[in-house]
């Protein structure tokens, strides 16, 4: 198989890293070489891809993938035979896989289309020598020309468009050729300046992303492409690319061994903390891990806690809900390594809601919003950690209109006598004795910070357009809407129950005297801890920079 026709990732077994001959699918949804996965299951009942414990080790033959691999191998062999017997100077149109992750170099300025057809609208032009990422191949029945579907990582305006592999006026003249890709793990060190990342293998400013690699730190890569003028590496666990010449390659020792975990730790998808996904949430102290390689680094590493610790504490208050003696608060505590742990403070909640919270904790659901109402009414919206899924739930006695309209991105507030207001990105639904002005005000807002219903029939909302106070008690405007001190910052969240309230400001929180003590104490401690961690981080940075200047 030629280097110009490297196998796509779906043809390669994750265990052997070789093209599969007899692909089978396990219950984790991934496909493996039959002999490799059977050998694996003799030693472990966990998934080789996800490390999750599998319910069964049964496998099912993947006949469709096996046929696709056979057809692809035959096409590549026929293509190599043509190049061997044909004209050496000719540039053949390369046989390309039907789907996968491939990098192509565009030979001449080429139009890209909205659909895999020359009859569709032209949307953009790709310049000569540009490298683009293709994820699929489709054929135009009218012209018999193959089109490459450009992947989303290409960014606007190319993402999702189609690049023809031949010119419309000269069907035998190729427009793009595949670039050899090397799938290999490597570790690099960044220099004294931050390093820009790019959506695809390029170094043009227009393709730069907003993410930059910190200076003086380690980062790992999993893919490399080389052209005549430059080499580019893809950051492991991401779709970001970096020119290799701006990084210093570290010596990766590929010796196998055992690693003794002294303290509990996470297994990350990249050498740079915070980049890529978390492979294993927690490795317990005292564990033994098989190590396939390691890097020895001699020098200063600069790996700061992520910048969001600089954001105000209110940014990490997911939700606060109050209703009489019932209360629920979800606080996201930032840890020293930049990760977040959810802290749930609750009391007096109905049994069905307590059961739901237990499930959320067990299955790593992160609660984004909660609302409590009379007669044990409630609404909860949550996302999976890593934003891989989202869901919402409501009590059985919640208003039918709310249950029919609710989405995982929604928020709600309850009042007396069955009144409620529900809001998501597209919908505002109200029920019961709710002021009409509130519905109109929420519908016209581009961003809604917080809203509440009062037991007297009043309504409150704060949006990008300002503050709405409709039939609200006088004390609410003076005690809550206007911050007690200018240093508190802007009001971000309000939980209201009769005359009791919790007001969350940017830099402080205020609770009325009758608010349950566990909730008010937890909020005060959360704010104090966050501000102390932020101050400690700033002192550490100053000490590091002073040491760097002293030794520099």
- Average pLDDT of the segment spanning 88-107: 57
Give the C-alpha separation, 319 to 321, whole Å: 7
* Cα angle for residues 237, 73, 64 (degrees, 5° grid): 75
307: left (phi over 0), alpha (psi -120 to 50) or beta: alpha
The pLDDT confidence band at residue 152, using thresholds 50, 70 and 90, is: confident
Contacts 24+ apart (CB under 8 A), 448-452: 448/411, 448/423, 449/491, 449/492, 449/493, 450/491, 450/492, 450/493, 450/494, 451/411, 451/413, 451/421, 451/423, 452/413, 452/494, 452/495, 452/496
Question: Is the confidence at residue 298, as pLDDT, over 50?
Answer: yes
Domain spans, the chain: 1-90, 181-295, 308-533
pLDDT band for position 358 (50/70/90)? very high
Give the pLDDT score at 98: 46
How far lies 448's CA from each of 142, 438, 465, 482, in Å? 51, 12, 9, 18
Tell me the three state secondary structure of residue 196.
strand
User: Which tokens sit at 90?
Assistant: 């000719």
Tokens 């409709």 locate to 470
Q: Give the torsion sign (CA, 35, 38, 40, 46).
A: positive
My answer on whether omega of the bond before 157 falls inside 30° of 0, hence cis, is yes
What stretch of H or E contains 529?
helix 517-551
Strand partners, 462: 450, 467
The Cα 325–Cα 299 span in angstroms is 56
Count the neighbouring beta carbons within 10 Å of the beta carbon of residue 365.
Answer: 21
- Overall size of the chain counted in residues: 552
Task: Give the residue-averaged pLDDT of 283-304.
Answer: 72
- Of 214-228, 396-410, 517-531, least confident by mean pLDDT is 214-228
DSSP alpha helices (H): ranges in 15-86? 34-43, 63-85
* Distance separating alpha carbons of residues 402 and 394, to the nearest angstrom: 9
Short-list 476, 478, 479, 480, CA closest to 491: 480
| Percentage of the chain modeled with pLDDT above 90 | 27
Write out the two tokens for 199.
Answer: 């959506």
When the pLDDT of each residue in the chain is averaged and rounded to a whole number, the result is 82
What pLDDT, in 10s, does the model give residues 479-497? 898 867 788 888 999 999 9
Average pLDDT of the residues in 533-540: 83
Most confident by average pLDDT, 18-32, 63-77, 84-98: 18-32
Selected residue with higher pLDDT from 291 and 429: 429
pLDDT above 60 for 99: no
Residue 242 pLDDT > 60: yes
- SS3 label, residue 9: helix
Q: What is the mean pLDDT of residues 133-139?
A: 83
Q: Which of 14-23, 74-83, 135-144, 388-397 has the lowest mean pLDDT?
A: 74-83
Higher pLDDT: 101 or 195? It is 195
CATH superfamily of 1-90: Zinc/RING finger domain, C3HC4 (zinc finger) (3.30.40.10)
- Does the pLDDT at position 186 exceed 70? yes
What are the strands, taking DSSP E only, across 108-227?
A: 110-113, 122-126, 131-139, 146-150, 162-164, 176-178, 181-189, 195-198, 208-213, 218-226
Least confident of 85-99, 111-125, 296-310: 85-99
pLDDT at 308: 59
pLDDT > 60? residue 236: yes
The per-residue pLDDT for 121 is: 79
Q: What is the mean pLDDT of residues 359-387?
A: 89
Mean pLDDT, rounded, for 523-537: 89
Q: Which residues face 148 on adjacent strands?
A: 137, 163
Helix, strand, coil share (%) of the chain residues, nearest 5? 25, 35, 40
Work out the percent of the chain whose per-residue pLDDT is above 70. Answer: 86
pLDDT, greater one: 279 or 455: 455
The mean pLDDT value for 517-542 works out to: 88
pLDDT at 338 over 80: no
Q: What is the mean pLDDT of residues 401-425?
A: 91
């Amino acid at each position: 198989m030629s280097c110009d026709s490297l196998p796509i990732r779906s043809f390669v077994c994750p265990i052997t890293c070789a093209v599969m001959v007899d692909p089978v699918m396990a219950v984790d949804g991934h496909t493996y070489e039959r002999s490799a996965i059977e050998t694996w299951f003799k030693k472990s009942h966990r998934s080789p891809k996800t490390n999750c414990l599998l319910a069964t080790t049964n496998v099912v033959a993947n006949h469709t993938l096996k046929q696709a691999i056979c057809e692809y191998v035959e096409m590549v062999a026929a293509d190599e035979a043509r190049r061997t017997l044909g004209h050496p100077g000719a540039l053949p149109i390369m046989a390309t896989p039907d789907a996968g992750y491939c990098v192509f170099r565009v030979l001449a300025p080429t139009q890209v289309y909205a659909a895999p057809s020359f009859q569709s609208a032209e949307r953009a032009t790709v310049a000569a020598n540009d490298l683009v990422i293709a994820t699929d191949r489709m054929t135009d029945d009218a012209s018999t020309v193959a089109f490459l579907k450009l992947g989303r990582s290409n960014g606007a305006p190319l993402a999702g468009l189609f690049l023809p592999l031949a010119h419309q006026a000269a069907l035998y003249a190729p427009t793009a050729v595949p670039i050899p890709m090397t799938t290999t793990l490597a570790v690099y060190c960044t220099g004294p300046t931050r390093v820009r990342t790019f959506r695809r293998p390029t170094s043009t400013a227009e393709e730069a992303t907003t993410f930059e690699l910190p200076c003086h730190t380690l980062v790992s890569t999993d893919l490399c492409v080389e052209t005549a003028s430059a080499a580019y590496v893809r950051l492991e666990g991401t779709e970001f690319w970096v020119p290799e010449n701006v990084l210093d390659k570290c010596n990766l020792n590929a010796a196998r061994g055992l690693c003794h975990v002294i303290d509990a730790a996470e297994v990350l998808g990249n050498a740079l903390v915070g980049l890529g996904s978390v492979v294993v949430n927690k490795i317990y102290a005292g564990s033994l891990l098989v190590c396939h390689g390691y890097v020895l680094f001699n020098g200063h590493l600069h790996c700061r806690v992520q910048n969001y610790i600089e954001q105000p504490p209110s940014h990490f208050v997911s939700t606060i809900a109050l209703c009489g003696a019932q209360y629920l608060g979800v606080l996201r505590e930032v840890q020293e390594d930049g990760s977040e742990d959810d802290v749930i403070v609750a009391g007096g909640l109905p049994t069905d809601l307590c059961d739901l919270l237990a499930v959320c904790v067990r299955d790593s659901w992160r609660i984004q919003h909660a609302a409590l109402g009379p007669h044990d009414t409630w609404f909860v919206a949550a996302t999976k950690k890593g934003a891989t899924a989202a869901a919402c739930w409501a009590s059985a006695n919640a208003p039918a209109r709310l249950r029919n309209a609710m989405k995982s991105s929604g928020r709600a507030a309850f009042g007396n006598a069955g009144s409620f207001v529900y809001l998501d990105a597209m919908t505002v639904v109200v029920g019961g004795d709710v002021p009409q002005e509130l519905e109109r005000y929420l519908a016209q807002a581009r961003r809604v910070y917080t809203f509440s219903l009062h037991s007297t029939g009043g309504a409150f909302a704060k949006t990008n357009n300002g503050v709405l106070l409709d039939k609200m008690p006088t004390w609410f405007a003076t005690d809550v809407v206007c911050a007690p001190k200018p240093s508190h910052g802007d009001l971000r969240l309000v939980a209201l129950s009769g005359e009791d309230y919790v007001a969350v400001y940017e830099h402080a929180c205020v609770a009325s005297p009758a608010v349950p003590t566990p909730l008010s104490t937890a909020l005060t401690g959360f704010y104090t801890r966050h501000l102390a961690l932020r101050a400690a981080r700033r002192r550490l940075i100053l000490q590091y920079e002073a040491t760097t200047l002293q030794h520099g």
